[in-house]
Amino acid sequence: MKKKNQETEEPLHTKIKVLLSLLWERAEAFFIKIKLHRRKNLLSTFDIFKAYLKLRKGDVVLTGNFKSPKNMIIPGALSHASLYIGRGKIIQAIGTGVEYNSVRHLLKESDTLVILRLPRRTKHKRQIIKLAITYAKQQLGKPYENFFREDKKQFFCTGLVNESFKNAGYKTKLQSIKPFRTSFDKISKHILDVTHWLTPIEFLNGNFRIVFLSHNLMYNGKEILIRADTLPKNL
């Protein structure tokens, strides 16, 4: 009899399908003698392969894209958060609103990757994950929060993920909207009506555990760092 807290795994046939798809891309390019160009992003094929094997329903997927304009607003190794819902799909909040995306497409556009998961001994884990995914699906089609304002009808990427778990009754230990502390911040809020949103990298301070880091990242117990020896010279 399976334990209630056992982690939800992807069906074996889904994993096999994804892996065969990746292998076919490489084989097809080889046999028709197409030169394989260097990947446009910094994730390796092995990163993607391992990520597919690691992913479970309810995982928090944190990614970074050094070439994206978003990285100028949210500097550092990670600039985006999404929720994995199974069968190779995520739900995310981006410029066009809250929508589905495939893991395959997300990783093709990413330079860094971190996968987080609920702690092993979390009570009612399956129920929490089910409710979190249900909440996220209910937000599909809602607009993206471009101006960092406090509005439940619009979502920033981290707010969508965090609020999904909070509405499932899970204590993430994170605030989607952080309080203003300095005088400058308070003036900005008064004049611009903006708020401090949770950043992707701050999920590491929440009630989650790291299950995967891409090859170009390392965790020192406090923060995620980019391995300098893995960066191209033009960055």
> Are 90 and 191 within 8 A, CB to CB?
no
Position 155 confidence tier, pLDDT thresholds 50, 70, 90: confident
For residue 230, the model assigns a pLDDT of 81
Q: Indicate whether 186 belongs to any domain.
A: yes
Please determine, for residue 194, whether its predicted confidence score (pLDDT) is greater than 50. no
Percentage with pLDDT > 90 across the chain: 53
Q: What's the total number of domains in the chain? A: 1
Mean pLDDT of 131-139: 97
For residue 189, the model assigns a pLDDT of 47
Positions of E strands within 87-162? 89-94, 97-102, 112-117
Mean pLDDT of 203-226: 94
Distance (Å, whole) CA 89 – CA 82: 10
Q: Indicate whether 167 belongs to any domain.
A: yes
Please determine, for residue 137, whether its predicted confidence score (pLDDT) is greater than 80. yes
- Average pLDDT taken over every residue of the chain: 81
For residue 31, the model assigns a pLDDT of 43
Question: In CATH, what number is assigned to the domain containing residue 118?
Answer: 3.90.1720.10
Q: Indicate whether 169 belongs to any domain.
A: yes
Distance (Å, whole) CA 180 – CA 177: 9
Q: Indicate whether 17 belongs to any domain.
A: no
Mean pLDDT of 199-225: 93
Positions of E strands within 70-123? 80-86, 89-94, 97-102, 112-117
CA angle (27, 32, 35) in 5-degree steps: 80
> Are 73 and 219 within 8 A, CB to CB?
no
Please determine, for residue 193, whether its predicted confidence score (pLDDT) is greater than 50. no
Q: Indicate whether 162 belongs to any domain.
A: yes
CA 150 and chain centroid, separation: 21
> Are 102 and 51 within 8 A, CB to CB?
no
Phi, psi of 64 (to 5 degrees): -130, 145
For residue 103, the model assigns a pLDDT of 95
Q: Indicate whether 48 belongs to any domain.
A: yes
3-state class (DSSP) for residue 190: helix
- With 0-12 / 13-18 / 19 or more C-beta atoms within 10 angstroms meaning exposed / middle / buried, residue 54 is middle
The lowest-confidence range among 20-24, 45-49, 55-59, 80-84 is: 20-24
Give the number of other Cβ atoms within 10 Å of residue 76's Cβ: 15
> Are 32 and 42 within 8 A, CB to CB?
no
Distance (Å, whole) CA 200 – CA 203: 6
Q: Which residue, among 102, 114, 37, has the nearest Cα to 78 in the 3D structure?
A: 114
Q: 3-state SS of 5-54?
A: CCCCCCCHHHHHHHHHHHHHHHHHHHHCCCCCCCCCCCCCHHHHHHHHHH
Q: Indicate whether 102 belongs to any domain.
A: yes
Q: Indicate whether 11 belongs to any domain.
A: no
> What are the pLDDT digits (tens) for 196-206?
678 899 999 99
> What are the pLDDT digits (tens) for 22-39?
665 555 444 434 343 445
- What is this structure's pTM? 0.78
Assigned token pair, 5 = 């807290």
Between 125-138 and 157-167, two packed helices, what is the crossing angle to 10 degrees? 130
For residue 222, the model assigns a pLDDT of 83
For residue 181, the enclosing domain spans: 42-224
The better pLDDT of the pair 69, 81 is held by 81
